[in-house]
Amino acid sequence: MKRRFLILLVLLAAAPQGACSFLYSYVLVNSSQEPISVELRFKKNPFKENAGSAEPAFLFIEPKTKKLEDLTSQTAWQSLPANQVTVDKTKGEMRLKLQPSEVLKLHQDSGTTIREVKESSTEPKPFSLFPIASITLTGKSGRIVLEGDLIPWQFREFAKNIYQIQYKPVAR
């Protein structure tokens, strides 16, 4: 009897650990055959702004990449070397090059962003937890500029829990 009780107790204690703990990734995919320039402007962090601080706090991300073929695998995201990223902390801007068939992780959450997009009306609303204020992609196929509250609406499902914005060649 004690043994059954202990087994039940262990199972009950372990159950919350196996509950829905999915993370949703919002990524930028370079599907072109050439490197592209990526410029990100971040939102100010309302929780970290110090009154009187000369340097505003922004919701920066650490730029991490994967190869496109590894996107759905358990392959770890790789941090970009500091010499490949330009950051302006006073303006909240980041610039980098994204290689062909490379993926940049822009944001990760518990599904809040995509749920808000799917459940909202046709009118975009502010996404306070989404860190990026604007994205500019420049390559041989042209320039894409995404700004403000419309950014989360541009993500399309790539795979379960992965949503993408894709830069791809223009058909000629």
Number of domains comprising the chain: 1
The answer to whether position 122 is within a domain reads yes
Alpha helices in 15-155 (DSSP H): 112-119
The answer to whether position 41 is within a domain reads yes
Quote the domain boundaries for residue 41.
Answer: 23-167
- Between CA 73 and CA 79 the distance in angstroms is 17
- Taking only the tens of pLDDT, the chain with its 172 residues reads 555 544 544 444 444 444 445 899 999 999 999 999 999 999 988 766 555 555 558 888 899 999 999 999 999 999 998 889 999 998 999 999 999 999 999 999 998 888 888 777 666 666 667 899 999 999 999 999 999 888 988 999 999 899 999 999 877 6
The answer to whether position 2 is within a domain reads no
The answer to whether position 95 is within a domain reads yes
Is 157 in contact with 165 (CB distance < 8 Å)? no
The answer to whether position 3 is within a domain reads no
Is 100 in contact with 168 (CB distance < 8 Å)? no
Cβ-based neighbours of 146, under 8 Å, separated by 6 or more: 134, 135, 136, 154, 165
